[in-house]
Amino acid sequence: MTPFQFNTTKSLISEAGAADNLAEICQPYAPKNILIVTDPGILKAGLLESVLPPLQARYGEIQVFSDVEADPAERTVNNAIELARSTGVDLVIGFGGGSSMDVAKLVALIASPKCTQSLSDTYGVNQAAGERLPLIQVPTTAGTGSEVTPIAIVTTGETTKSGIVSPILFPDVAVLDAKLTTGLPAAVTAATGIDAMVHAIEAYTSKIRKNPISDMFAREALHLLARNIEQAVHQGQNLEARSGMLLGANLAGQAFANAPVAAVHALAYPLGGHFHIPHGLSNSLVLPQVMRFNMSAAQAHYAELAPIIMGEDYLPGEHAQICEQLVQWLENLIIKVTLPNRLRDCGVPESMLPQLAADAMLQQRLLVNNPRTMTEADALAIYQAAY
Ligand SMILES: NC(=O)c1ccc[n+]([C@@H]2O[C@H](COP(=O)([O-])OP(=O)(O)OC[C@H]3O[C@@H](n4cnc5c(N)ncnc54)[C@H](O)[C@@H]3O)[C@@H](O)[C@H]2O)c1
Ligand SMILES: [Fe+2]
């Protein structure tokens, strides 16, 4: 067996209503000054209303940074770091989707008195150094799995997204409270849900660090996500479906934290960078065509996943037939969860496709994990097929 290492967040709490117990969850760290990192949409949805009072009752004033935007910019991260430093924060809670949780990770690292780095020193793999502040993550989308990954993504410059990948960024505690996700709008539920499915699919076919534990997480993630995504989108208040999605996204996060994602994400990032297409939708737009491209190299793996994803719809056959069935099933799912499925419907001008292909090539950190080598010409052909 190929040697491997598997890392994840130290502690996972999964219970509807668990976020109301954050005061107790923080207790082992004896914090004197807590910062919650979140976004304006979360505040507006009232998700902090039952969470803040018990924290204030036990720890006094709580700092709240609520200016995180989707695909957070460097400036936003630095503003949050500044608030944490100037107020002497000693514990950080990320409360929101991947955007808020990623900012929280970087604040916990760079605002720590035991870290001498600035944000720009940390970009890339294993560049972050030092010791971070205690970090508790509370996801409110079922998508990125950031609560169990060693990754934070920042928008650098106007259009580029850069990753910070370091084991220091694995949070201390992940709190999965499905009640927080029942009001998530259908479009966000659909996009973030497909993002989670892509995490599991890409982890399962990851060329470099795929291993038996990441495979196990990916399979169970896909079982939960494929069974629950339609209900979560169309009956948002269904707590069972929401719980399945939140756990599924978390398991997918643990899978890709150890067997990294690949070309779907590499081609998705330029769409987010140039056109502010949400991360999950960007993935969804290129997923079927990237799978078709990968088929010659990943056929056996896709065929293993097909019955798990398709459930009763699965029909046995030759690998090539099963793979085509699976891609068509996913194309149908994308329509059923009412996501747009062509780049042309998302404000992408056709003349930009070569630029997108060139930008995708900058994501070599991800492309090395792809089961099939992808050139710029291949990336362009995929964007054209998805147009
Ligand atoms: N760290 C990682 O491992 C990792 C992995 C994949 C993606 N990412 C990054 O994560 C970000 C995307 O995160 P995301 O897809 O979770 O979206 P997000 O955090 O950007 O949130 C999307 C929108 O949903 C709203 N929202 C979130 N939860 C809500 C709720 N419960 N009720 C109502 N509204 C709610 C937010 O206000 C926001 O407007 C991107 O920057 C992406 O690059 C990180
Ligand atoms: Fe993703």
Q: What is the ipTM of this complex?
A: 0.99
DSSP state letters, 75-103: HHHHHHHHHHHHTT--EEEEEESHHHHHH
Q: How far apart are the CA of 280 and the centre of ligand 2, in A? A: 6
Nearest ligand, CA 261: 2
Q: How far apart are the CA of 54 and the centre of ligand 2, in A? A: 33
Contact 146, 185 (CB under 8 A): no
Per-residue confidence (pLDDT) for residue 157, from 0 to 100: 81
Per-residue confidence (pLDDT) for residue 2, from 0 to 100: 85
Burial of 339 (0-12, 13-18, 19+ CB in 10 A): buried
Give residue 215's Cα distance to chain centre: 18
Report how far residue 135's alpha carbon sits from residue 22's, in angstroms, rounded to the nearest whole number: 12
> Which H or E element spans position 284?
helix 279-310
The residues of the chain scoring below 50 in pLDDT are none
| DSSP helix/strand/coil, 346 | helix
Query: What's the pTM value of the predicted model, to 2 decimals?
Result: 0.96
* Ligand 1: residue whose CA is nearest its atom 38: 41
Report how far residue 282's alpha carbon sits from residue 303's, in angstroms, rounded to the nearest whole number: 24
Per-residue confidence (pLDDT) for residue 160, from 0 to 100: 82
Report how far residue 203's alpha carbon sits from residue 181's, in angstroms, rounded to the nearest whole number: 25
Q: How far apart are the CA of 164 and the centre of ligand 2, in A? A: 14
> What fold, for 182-386?
Dehydroquinate synthase-like, alpha domain (1.20.1090)
Report how far residue 144's alpha carbon sits from residue 261's, in angstroms, rounded to the nearest whole number: 12
Phi, psi angle pair for 133, to nearest 5°: -75, 160
Indicate the top mutation candidate among 9, 38, 42 to test ligand 1's pocket, ranked by most ligand atoms within 8 A of CB: 42
Report how far residue 149's alpha carbon sits from residue 133's, in angstroms, rounded to the nearest whole number: 16
Report how far residue 278's alpha carbon sits from residue 343's, in angstroms, rounded to the nearest whole number: 13
Contact 208, 260 (CB under 8 A): yes
Report how far residue 262's alpha carbon sits from residue 256's, in angstroms, rounded to the nearest whole number: 10
Phi, psi angle pair for 64, to nearest 5°: -125, 120
Per-residue confidence (pLDDT) for residue 13, from 0 to 100: 98
Report how far residue 107's alpha carbon sits from residue 133's, in angstroms, rounded to the nearest whole number: 8
Per-residue confidence (pLDDT) for residue 373, from 0 to 100: 98
Q: Residue 194: left if φ>0, alpha if ψ -120 to 50, beta else—which one?
A: alpha
**To which residue do tokens 């499925």 refer?**
341
Spatial neighbors of 247 by CB under 8 A, at least 6 apart, are: 14, 176, 224
| DSSP helix/strand/coil, 155 | strand
Instruction: Give residue 291's identity as a one-letter amino acid code.
Output: M
Kindly state if the Cβ of 171 falls inside 6 Å of ligand 1.
no
Indicate the top mutation candidate among 38, 99, 256 to test ligand 1's pocket, ranked by most ligand atoms within 8 A of CB: 99
Report how far residue 17's alpha carbon sits from residue 242's, in angstroms, rounded to the nearest whole number: 13
Kindly state if the Cβ of 19 falls inside 6 Å of ligand 1.
no
Largest CA distance in the chain: 63
**To which residue do tokens 């069974």 refer?**
227
- Torsion sign across C-alpha atoms 235, 240, 244, 246: positive
| DSSP helix/strand/coil, 347 | coil
Report how far residue 31's alpha carbon sits from residue 238's, in angstroms, rounded to the nearest whole number: 35
Please report, for the chain, the start and end positions of each structural domain, with discontinuous segments joined by +: 11-179, 182-386
Kindly state if the Cβ of 198 falls inside 6 Å of ligand 1.
no
Tell me which CATH code domain 11-179 carries. Answer: 3.40.50.1970
Report how far residue 140's alpha carbon sits from residue 284's, in angstroms, rounded to the nearest whole number: 20
Per-residue confidence (pLDDT) for residue 268, from 0 to 100: 97
